[in-house]
Amino acid sequence: MEGFCSFKTYLLLLCTLTIGTYCTEDLGRGLGEKYEWHSLEDGLQLSKETGKPLMLVIHKSWCGACKAFKPKFAESTEILKLSEHFVMVNTIDSEEPKDEKYAPDGGYIPRILFLNAAGEVQKDIYNKSGNPSYKHFYFDADGVVKSMKEAIEVLGQKFSKGDEL
């Protein structure tokens, strides 16, 4: 009986770890599991409650540009640090919001939008070093970091003492 209990415990642990891994990967979707990701609906509510701006990443599982961008985003320690000042939302495939406000200059992907706590897309916060025809398209971590810092500055989020932009 002891051997059976140990085996059951082992199986339970294995299943828990496996399920936990799948859940974590589902939330990161290639953009990083260390972030505190939310659904758009939950993110909008949390942003409203906390006053934090919302950062919305829209991407597709089949998109070549998205696949090239994801590891750059996931590996950036600077994006991760700045993400603490945002409600982070990661939408993929059919989760892409259909409302036109989420495609201010087109429905290309990947695109990153910044929203204030009232849920309004901030059209003036975009990739200033990118293509002016696709303002919310990001291809590297540096562009994302610059926009995140701008969003924090524009939307009034304060860094705790000792943090640097």
Give me the domains of the chain, ranges plus CATH numbers.
Answer: 2-154 (3.40.30.10)
Mean pLDDT of 9-31: 53
Contact 104, 114 (CB under 8 A): no
80-128 pLDDT, tens per residue? 999 999 999 999 999 999 999 999 999 999 999 999 999 999 999 999 9
Helix, strand and coil in the chain, % to nearest 5: 50, 15, 40
Average pLDDT, the chain: 86
Name the residue type at position 80. L
Alpha-carbon gap, residue 11 to 88, rounded angstroms: 34
Q: What is the pLDDT of residue 3?
A: 55
Mean pLDDT of 141-152: 97
Q: What is the pLDDT of residue 156?
A: 73
128-140 pLDDT, tens per residue? 999 999 999 999 9
pTM of the predicted protein model? 0.80
Confidence of residue 27 (pLDDT cuts 50, 70, 90): confident
φ/ψ of 90, rounded to 5, equals -130, 105
